[in-house]
Amino acid sequence: MTFVAVIVAAGMGSRAGGAKQWRLLGGRPVARWSLEAMLAAGAADVVVVIPAGSEAQAARAFAGLDRWRTVPGGADRAASVRNGLAALAVTGETPVLVHDAARPLLKPAHVRRLLDALPGWDGAILALPAADTLKRVEGERIAATASRDSLWRAQTPQAFPLNRLRAAYARLPSDASATDEASVVEADGGTVRVVGGDPRLMKLTFPEDFAMAEALIPRQMRIGQGFDAHRWGDGEAVWLCGVRIDHNQTLVGHSDADAGLHALTDALLGALGEGDIGDHFPPSDPQWKGAASDRFVGHAVELLRARGGAVINADVTLICEQPRIKPHRPAMRARLAELLGVSLDAVSVKATTTEGMGFTGRQEGLAAQAVVSISLPSRASSESRG
């Protein structure tokens, strides 16, 4: 079914600490979550109402998405929605969904539920029956206990035939304020139904709500593994897992040849599906000559954080006959924990010889293996798998 949408992202969110629509949630701007979900549900056209002057910010926040436009908001919510409705190119009974960007955890299933419920009604909204006992409070004193029977908490999106909602807004007195669209249509004599909402469609109102929303984002765990080897050559020290060790040889490479950090970088890139260390730091590029390899790990960690991810743990194995690793293990773990932003117990450094066999046994070179696990937000537009 063809439908269009208006996403209201014009409020500055003073109670939530300002401009919450652009704040990152799970690595993505808050307003982008709703836009992605509307597009994934098949919206033909989405108008996002934003604060006047924040067009460039919106363009960055919505980069790579299509079928969206922005219009500046008005003095209050009703004025903002009016602007959004006016900007929609369609007419007639096409369903329009109006949604608050402050409810980012929207899923295509919510949209389908509303579209299925709308025919025959002037509107359909997502709502939850009030579960808590409701108190009327004056100051700190309870003045009355209200019956919660038949009381529901309205959420968004709210769906209406476009011509019906436009007509209701046209007849809304210009000085009247409205906190949702259903109340505008009700005031205009329309019949609006409720369909089951979702507690995860919580509204980001107070600063602490962001932590709760982060916890509600479906996340996936991923594993990555990496392997690296470098040849021994003349030198007096070697870098391993970000620690300089005095030794009668060094590892030869374009950078500092820290095989432990190279394997770890590849493990991180592998978990992200972002290629390998050679793609990001080509050996042909002179700027990486002699580079400290903690920059490579730092780059992979930045890619991870940009996607709202975090390292869970890392396990590195160094394969060599010499030098002895054990005395340096605490320093290596501490450095890796620092680079990855995790606690010490989430990092392991192990060492083994190959009992004289193979290239490491013949002391031609040193090899390193790494395994990492990461947690990454699932895409808002993909359906929950559980």
What does the DSSP 8-state code read for residue 378?
P
Q: Which two tokens stand for residue 284?
A: 């042909």
Least distance to Mg ion, CB of residue 28, Å: 33
Both structure tokens of 127:
């709502």
Stretch that binds Mg ion, among 49-57, 196-204, 232-240, 259-267 (CB under 5 A): 259-267
Residue 260 within binding range of Mg ion, rule CB under 5 A: no
Q: Decide whether 103 or 230 has the Cβ nearer to Mg ion.
A: 230
Nearer to Mg ion, 181 or 256 (CB): 256
Element (H, E) at 349: strand 347-352
The 10 Å CB-count burial string (b at 16+, else e) for 6-40 is bbbbbbebeebeebbbbbebbebbbbbbbbbbbbb
Q: Does 262 bind Mg ion (CB under 5 A)?
A: yes
Q: What are phi and psi of 94, to 5 degrees?
A: -50, 130
228 near Mg ion, rule: CB under 5 A: yes
Cβ-Cβ contacts under 8 Å for 348 (sequence gap 6 or more): 313, 314, 315, 316, 333
Residues 61-100 that bind Mg ion (CB under 5 A): none
Q: By Cβ distance, which residue is nearest to Mg ion?
A: 262
Q: Which of residues 120-159 bind Mg ion (CB under 5 A)?
A: none
Cα-Cα-Cα-Cα dihedral sign, residues 54, 59, 65, 68: positive
CB of 370 to Mg ion, least distance (A): 12
Helices 162-171/77-87 angle, 10° precision: 140
Q: How far is the CB of 315 from Mg ion (least distance, A)?
A: 18
Tokens of 66: 């299509």
Q: Indicate the helix (H) or strand (E) that contains 229.
A: strand 219-234
CA atoms within 13 A on the CB side of 69: 13
Minimum Å distance from CB 262 to Mg ion?
4
The strand pair at 365-377 and 310-319 is best described as antiparallel
Q: Kindly indicate which of the ranges 70-78, 225-233, 310-318, 366-374 contains the residues binding Mg ion, using the contact rule CB under 5 A.
A: 225-233
What residues between 25 and 64 interact with Mg ion by CB under 5 A?
A: none
Q: Is the Cβ–Cβ distance between 88 and 64 less than 8 Å?
A: no
Nearer to Mg ion, 104 or 226 (CB): 226
- CA-nearest of 383, 333, 385 to 108 is 383
Q: Is 256 in the site for Mg ion (CB under 5 A)?
A: no
In the bound state with Mg ion, the residue whose beta carbon lies nearer, of 121 and 227, is 227
CA dist 13 and 210 (Å) reads 12
How many residues lie near Mg ion (CB under 5 A)? 2
What's the min distance (Å) between Cβ of 259 and Mg ion?
6
Nearer to Mg ion, 222 or 231 (CB): 231
The percent of the chain in helix, strand and coil, each rounded to the nearest 5, is 35, 30, 35
Min dist. Cβ of residue 253 to Mg ion (A): 6
In whole angstroms, how close is the CB of 263 to Mg ion at the nearest point? 8
Q: Which stretch binds Mg ion (CB under 5 A): 38-46, 84-92, 99-107, 256-264?
A: 256-264
CB of 24 to Mg ion, least distance (A): 33
Q: Residue 262 or residue 328: which is nearer to Mg ion going by CB?
A: 262
Of residues 22 and 239, the one with the C-beta less far from Mg ion: 239
Pick 82 or 262: Cβ nearer Mg ion: 262
From the list 19-27, 173-181, 234-242, 255-263, the region that binds Mg ion by CB under 5 A is 255-263
Q: Does 281 bind Mg ion (CB under 5 A)?
A: no
Closer to Mg ion by Cβ: residue 181 or 228: 228
Under the rule (CB under 5 A), what is the footprint of Mg ion? Answer: 228, 262
